[in-house]
Amino acid sequence: MEQVPLSHVLILSSCLFFLGIYGFFSRRNMITMLMSIELILNSININFIAFNKYLYPHQLEGVFFTLFIITVAAAEVSLAIAIIINLYRKFNTIDVEDTNTMKF
């Protein structure tokens, strides 16, 4: 069976990555921004898996890293949601533009 070439996978992950970047910059809603970050992380996960599979099929580092990132991402999301909820309680909004008191 012919394999999907590596470049396809990489193109997919790049698309995901830039989608994430775009989302991160263009959205003002923090939840959406968080989702964009998840996209970025997942694109990286795909990269890891792909490289592992195509370049070093006998090693498992890529897989480990992916698991690691997923864990971290989960932790990060829980923290971020907590922060966002707190911000909402304080400002009554989750628009990132309105919560700019952390300056100077």
Partner 1 sequence: MSTYDIAALLILLLPILSFAGLSFLGKRITPCTAGIVGTTVLFVAAGLALFTAYGYFFQFGEVAGAYAHHTSLEINWLQFNENLSINLSIILDPISVMMLVVITVISAMVHLYSFKYMHGEERFATYYAYLALFTFSMLGLVVSGNLFQMYIFWELVGVSSFLLIGFYFTKPSAIAAAKKAFIVTRFADLGFLLGILMLSYGAETLDFFVLIERLTQPDSVYLASFTATSFMGLSALSWGLLLVFTGGAGKSAMFPLHIWLPDAMEGPTPVSALIHAATMVVAGVYLVARLFPVFAISAPDALAIVGYIGVFTALFAAVIACTQTDIKRVLAYSTISQIAFMMFALGVAGWGEEKAEGFTASMFHLFTHAFFKALLFLGAGAVIHAVHSNEMKDMGGLRKSMPITHITFLIACLAIAGVPLLSGFFSKEAILNAAYHGNPMIFYVALLTSGLTAFYMFRLYFRIFWYKADEHGHHNHEKGMWAMNLPLIILAIGAAFTGYIPFGDFVSADGKPFELPFHLTFSIAPVLAGVIGIGIAWMMYSKQNSNPDKVSASFGRFYNWAYHKFYIDEIYLFVTKKVLFNLVGRPAAWFDKNVVDGMINGYASITSTTSEAIKGMQSGRLQTYTLFFLGGVLVVAILLIVNFI
Q: Which of residues 33-52 bind partner 1 (CB under 8 A)?
A: 33
Total residues in contact with partner 1, by rule CB under 8 A: 11
The footprint of partner 1 on residues 74-103 (CB under 8 A) is 96-97, 100-103
Select 4 or 98, whichever has its Cβ closest to partner 1. 98
- Residue from 10, 12, 19, 24 in contact with partner 1 (CB under 8 A): 24
Q: C-beta of 58: minimal distance to partner 1 in Å?
A: 28
Establish if 21 lies at the interface with partner 1 (CB under 8 A).
yes
70 and 38 Cβ atoms separated by less than 8 Å = no
Nearest in space to 75 (alpha carbons), one of 28, 24, 41, 52: 41
* DSSP character string of 44-104: HHHHHHHHHHHH-TT--HHHHHHHHHHHHHHHHHHHHHHHHHHHHHHHS--BTTT------
Q: Which residues bind partner 1 (CB under 8 A)?
A: 21, 24-25, 33, 96-97, 100-104
